[in-house]
Amino acid sequence: MDLNGVSAIVTGGASGIGASTARLLASKGAKVVVADLQEDKGTALANEIGGAFCKVDVTNTEDIINAVEMAKSMGPVRVLVNSAGIGWAQRTVGKDGSYDSAANLDAFRKVIAINLIGTFDCIRIAATAMSTTEPLEHGERGAIVNIASVAAFDGQIGQASYSASKGGVVGMTLPIARDLSAIGVRVNTVAPGLIDTPIYGEGENSATFKANLEKGVLFPHRLGDGSELASMVVECITNSYMNAETIRVDGGIRMPPK
């Protein structure tokens, strides 16, 4: 798929993997809607890449519709990248044996609501818009890429909610790709390993923490760069024979229990 002149929506696009993806899409001619809750960062990035910012909470369908309508005003909607997400770590059972110390169920619901249900809501709304666009060669109308995580496969202690949410994204990739084949929309998922994003902080303590994480990466012995992840996302979009696949981008890491 040629990205020149098409509109793309990137949720969680104001920072990290989403921002790297938004920049790469824009460099290839796409008009990008940066859909995020971070107004300052999102607006600055949108101005930098010649796109637009839309404040979006992916648990709010009206916000998603606003982003899609904004994208429609900029060009044919053909691309959605689902990068919005949160993490949460807590053991299933507390140390004192009391019911109150068991894992926070509201936190579990929140992670699922954002990472899994929010992803599906974005897909169903954006794909609806894609279904009304003129088909390209071979009937192609659009491409969707979800960002999961290696935690979908190698979840660590305390990652029950996060792994469940990302495992759900992996699990729904094939059935949604089969479903949306009827309208010429491809669906793939990319599962990052340890990517160097602002989530790890800055300074000496951050550097020490990241150096410890790097030990588990098979090769190369470092954290991944956002641009390397974005490259795979864009390949899934532009390569019209990529469909219904989940791809790990992780330097060969297999996460240990903790």
Query: pLDDT at position 206, please?
Result: 82
pLDDT band at 202 (very low <50, low <70, confident <90, very high): confident
Which region holds residue 210: left if phi is over 0, alpha if psi is between -120 and 50, else beta?
alpha
At 228, which helix (H) or strand (E)?
helix 226-238
pLDDT digits (tens, 9 = 90+) for 155-198: 999 999 999 999 999 999 999 999 999 999 999 999 999 999 77
pLDDT-derived band of residue 257, with 50, 70 and 90 as boundaries?
very high
- Average pLDDT of 200-219? 85
Model pLDDT, residue 155: 95
Amino acid of residue 92: T
pLDDT at 102: 97
Q: Is the pLDDT at 200 greater than 80, yes or no?
A: no
Query: What is the token pair recorded at 10?
Result: 């990137």
29, 5 contact by CB (below 8 A)? yes
Tokens of 83: 């990068």
Q: Is the pTM of this model over 0.75?
A: yes
Residue 205 pLDDT = 81
Domain 7-249 = CATH 3.40.50.720: yes
Tell me: pLDDT of 201 over 80: no
Active-site positions read: 162
Model pLDDT, residue 209:
80
Confidence of residue 71 (pLDDT cuts 50, 70, 90): very high
Please, what is the average pLDDT of the chain? 96
